[in-house]
């Protein structure tokens, strides 16, 4: 079933120990939708400027992604430049030019109205809330955010959190959002803010899902059931070429797999965590969208099997 994703479609300038690119296609919605496109139909809401070419758009459409919700406007696309030279786990932002995103007002094409899954990628929580309000009938909503919104836009963010089935963030963001340095306590506090489930991404160490008694209520699971957390591995890689978009790719694999299934059970949630790790592991193998734009579905299944072997006793 189709996922609607709202988030940035952008250009990135990136330097890592493996090299440097001046300007490649990037943005949270881009990485998310490419990763999710291997599992289900994806529709994108974003805004781009005059510098967004037919070739850029083809990266989406070649993967069958519906780009009718990408608004073309005058001006320049969102541009971000970052360096991982000192730390592959955390980008040092060198430049952020919001450009066309500064005055973006999301419009939902009529063809997108029947989307059953909604992903609110990392973007101004005001825009996330706006799109959420325009899609009242979606079956499942997950979202992401980042330090900037947690620190300086927390009231707006908290409104978004109330309506989420799942929140996907990293360790630093979780601890910052909860004002707690213990991850288990932080997770409890975040689940009390609204999200029914929380996925904390640990970069090279994988990810942990924390559940509330409401995590699977839409599937008819009794709300009294207590669920253990779940830990999914990441693949030990001898070279991380470009970490940009790894988290968005994780979210795309995770939510794409969930949207491809009939219902959300604990077993499906766990498999989704593995597919998230799988797509994240591909994403970092090349700069920008290069690797995720042209995967063979067979490679995905092979790597899923690898993740299983990497973490399972038998």
Binding site for a copy of itself (CB under 8 A): 88, 181-185, 187-188, 202, 204-206, 208, 210, 228-233, 236-240, 267, 270-271, 274, 306, 308-314
- 26 - beta bridge partners? 10
Closest CB to a copy of itself among residues 133, 228: 228
CA distances from 29 to 25, 60, 120, 262, 298 (A): 11, 11, 9, 24, 24
How near is the Cβ of 47 to a copy of itself at its closest, in Å?
37
Nearer to a copy of itself, 154 or 265 (CB): 265
Residue number with CB closer to a copy of itself (10 or 241): 241
- Looking at beta carbons only, is 69 or 280 nearer to a copy of itself? 280
For residue 300, the minimal CB distance to a copy of itself (Å) is 16
Q: How many Å apart are CA 20 and CA 43, to the nearest integer?
A: 30
Rg over CA atoms, the chain? 18
Distance CA 146, CA 313 (A): 35
Residue (of 255, 245, 253) closest to 31 by Cα position? 245
User: CB of residue 53 vs a copy of itself: minimum separation in angstroms?
Assistant: 35
Q: Is 253 within 8 Å of 297 (Cβ atoms)?
A: no
Nearer to a copy of itself, 94 or 184 (CB): 184
Residue whose CB is less far from a copy of itself, 89 or 156:
89
Number of alpha carbons in the 13 Å side-chain half-sphere of residue 269: 25
Residue nearer to a copy of itself on the CB measure, 153 or 231 = 231
In the complex with a copy of itself, which residue's Cβ is closer, 219 or 294? Answer: 219
Q: How far is the CB of 275 from a copy of itself (least distance, A)?
A: 11
- CA dist., res. 105 & res. 123, Å (int): 12
CA 110/CA 144 separation, integer angstroms: 25
What CA–CA distance (Å, rounded) separates 116 from 277?
A: 23
Smallest separation (angstroms) from a copy of itself to the CB of 313: 5
Residue in this structure with the two tokens 């360790």, named with its chain if needed: 171
Minimal distance in Å, beta carbon 85 to a copy of itself? 11
Q: Taking the complex as a whole, how short is the minimal distance between the CB of residue 99 and a copy of itself, in angstroms? A: 34
**What residues form DSSP beta bridges with 19?**
16
Question: Nearest approach, Cβ of 307 to a copy of itself (angstroms)?
Answer: 9
Shortest CA distance to 60 belongs to which of 81, 32, 92, 88?
32
Provide the edge-to-edge strand list for the sheet that holds 166-170.
70-72, 42-48, 3-6, 117-120, 140-143, 166-170, 197-201, 207-211, 230-232
């Amino acid at each position: 079933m189709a996922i609607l994703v709202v988030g940035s479609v952008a250009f990135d300038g990136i330097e890592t120990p493996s090299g440097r690119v001046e300007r490649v296609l990037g943005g949270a919605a881009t990485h998310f939708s490419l990763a999710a496109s291997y599992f289900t139909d994806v529709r994108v809401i974003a805004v781009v400027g005059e510098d967004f070419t037919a070739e850029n758009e083809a990266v989406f459409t070649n993967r069958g992604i519906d780009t009718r919700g990408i608004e073309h406007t005058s001006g320049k696309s969102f541009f971000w430049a970052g360096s991982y030279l000192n730390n592959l786990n955390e980008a040092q932002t060198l430049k952020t030019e919001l450009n066309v995103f500064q005055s973006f007002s999301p419009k939902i094409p009529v063809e997108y109205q029947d989307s059953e899954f909604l992903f609110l990628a990392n973007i101004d929580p005001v825009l996330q809330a706006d799109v959420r309000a325009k899609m009242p009938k979606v079956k499942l909503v997950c979202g992401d955010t980042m330090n900037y919104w947690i620190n300086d836009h927390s009231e707006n963010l908290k409104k978004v959190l109330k309506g989420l089935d799942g929140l996907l963030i990293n360790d630093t963001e979780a601890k910052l959002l909860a004002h707690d340095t213990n991850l288990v306590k932080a997770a409890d506090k975040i689940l009390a803010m609204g999200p029914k489930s929380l996925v904390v991404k640990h970069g090279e160490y994988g990810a942990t899902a924390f559940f509330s008694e409401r995590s699977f209520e839409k599937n008819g699971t009794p709300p009294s059931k207590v669920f253990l957390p779940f830990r999914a591995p990441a693949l030990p890689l001898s070279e991380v070429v470009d970490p940009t978009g790894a988290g968005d790719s994780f979210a795309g694999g995770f939510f794409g797999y969930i949207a491809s299934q009939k219902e959300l059970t604990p077993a499906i949630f766990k498999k989704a965590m593995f597919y998230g790790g799988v797509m994240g592991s591909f994403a970092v193998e090349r700069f920008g969208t290069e690797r995720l734009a042209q995967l063979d579905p067979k490679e995905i299944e092979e790597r899923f099997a690898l993740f299983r072997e990497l973490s399972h006793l038998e």
